[in-house]
Structure 1
Amino acid sequence: MASLWAVLALLALSSAQDSLLNICMDAQHHKSKPGPEGQLYGQCVLWKDNACCTANTSIEAHRDQSYLYGFNWDHCGAMAQRCKRHFIQDTCLYECSPNLGPWIDQTDSSWRRQRILNVPLCREDCEQWWEDCRDASTCKVNWHKGWNWSTGTNQCPRGAMCQKFKYVFPTPADLCEKLWSHSYRYTTERRGGGRCIQMWFDPIEGNPNVAVAQYYARGSAADPPRSPAPLALLALLGSALLGAAPWG
């Protein structure tokens, strides 16, 4: 019976790990399953071989005040293109990537059932984002909530003052972690090391985030995945087997 338990436990663990891979979150514009999208637009084209977004979503991700969320990047004056491209890439990663499973979290939002939480971004991605946006302006630290939506698009709340990013977000970690309610986590991990999610990559060389998701789905002693799914399944399996055992 012990050997049977071990085999079944390994199968359950493998199944739990696989359930975190190559999936789309349950959110407003995501497909139910990832798959090829040959017509993805602009910066979202990185995910054309296997995407959670449609071509229309990829187009809207590049528009100011698109129908996706009605969000205005220029709420404190025109945002420079070198800065805006990072927000477009952030949107493409969120909408299109099928490699965020280990960080999908349940939420009670009115417009989505799931979100991402503490996705480990590569150091270079956070630092370049901050560098290119340091002189852009905003009036809020957390862009997920607290806006004035009376006109149908986000406006600064009463009394909020527009300031440069470098004052609102003093460090790259502040920007990446606070902007979207800790959707991302700043890391010191480097691109290409298989331990951090890349917002930018060369699709000709393949998607490096596949291996990163596999690593965190398996878990490691240094930084286990946030999801408790494997342990929960093992606990249930153990209880079931113990209940069926002749010595129970």
Structure 2
Amino acid sequence: MSRFNWDHCGQMAPACKQHFIQDTCLYECSPNLGPWIQQVNQSWRKERILNVPLCKEDCQQWWEDCRTSYTCKSNWHKGWNWSSGHNRCPVGAACHHFHFYFPTPAALCEGIWSHSYKLSNYSRGSGRCIQMWFDPAQGNPNEEVARFYALAMSAGAMPHGIGLLLLSLVPMLQLWLLS
């Protein structure tokens, strides 16, 4: 993404751009997206996140802050013209306000990166949705969310006792990785 041009349809509103910067930080750096990592066979990557439950307030604010900015596509994962070395709108794609391509918060959060995120019905602090924004001094609320979904996914994918055993090892593994 280092060559990705957020301003492909003119200057993006600073508040809107902040959401994309935060999204990139979450995607690139969060240790809590493990339950949603999927293997893919694409030339530019081998794995991706899929259907991460994004807290409804974070999605709503992202949409609100981007409404006055412009874009030319509803799916930013693919279809760009990269001939100049950075993304440009494909031939025939017109620049419109975000709300043209993303009429609802769900359309933005779920569509912009090919369903990397899923709009959650849960609120920030519920322990059931990933928060894009939080104060690290107050701890990382996404740790609880990742544990919850890892447990739920492992319980559904393997015998219950094994799933619980593996989940009980997560804190020890985190301590080991941090030391």
Give yes or no for TM over 0.5.
yes
Separation in 2, partners of 1:69, 1:146? 17
Q: CA deviation at 1:69?
A: 3.6
Q: CA deviation at 1:111?
A: 2.2
Residue identity in the other structure for 1:158: V
Pick from 26, 47, 52: which aligns with 1:93? 26
Q: CA deviation at 1:188?
A: 1.6
Whether 1:175 aligns to 2:108 is: yes
Residue identity in the other structure for 1:95: E
Counterpart for residue 194 of structure 1: 127
Pick from 49, 73, 81: which aligns with 2:6? 73
User: What are the superposed Cα offsets for residues 8-55 of structure 1, whole Å, 9 maximum, x if unpaired?
Assistant: xxxxxxxxxxxxxxxxxxxxxxxxxxxxxxxxxxxxxxxxxxxxxxxx
Separation in 2, partners of 1:210, 1:232? 21
Whichever of the two has the greater Rg, that structure is 1
Pick from 25, 45, 50: which aligns with 1:112? 45
Higher helix share: 2
RMSD: 1.6
Q: CA deviation at 1:231?
A: 5.4
User: What are the superposed Cα offsets for residues 55-74 of structure 1, whole Å, 9 maximum, x if unpaired?
Assistant: xxxxxxxxxxxxx4411000
Aligned residues: 161
Residue identity in the other structure for 2:41: D
Q: CA deviation at 1:180?
A: 0.1
Separation in 2, partners of 1:195, 1:218? 12
Residue identity in the other structure for 2:119: Y
Separation in 2, partners of 1:147, 1:91? 18
Separation in 1, partners of 2:150, 2:11? 40
Counterpart for residue 40 of structure 1: none
Secondary structure at 1:185's aligned position in 2?
A: strand
Separation in 1, partners of 2:157, 2:119? 28
User: What are the superposed Cα offsets for residues 216-235 of structure 1, whole Å, 9 maximum, x if unpaired?
Assistant: 0111xxxxx3xxx665554x
Residue identity in the other structure for 2:53: P
- Identity over aligned pairs, percent: 66
Counterpart for residue 10 of structure 1: none
Separation in 2, partners of 1:125, 1:230? 28
Residue identity in the other structure for 1:198: Q
Q: 1:1-248 counterparts in 2 under 5 A?
A: 68-219=1-152, 225=153, 234=159
Higher strand share: 2
Counterpart for residue 173 of structure 2: none
Counterpart for residue 175 of structure 2: none
Q: What residue ranges of structure 1 are gaps of 5+ in the alignment?
A: 1-67, 220-224, 238-248
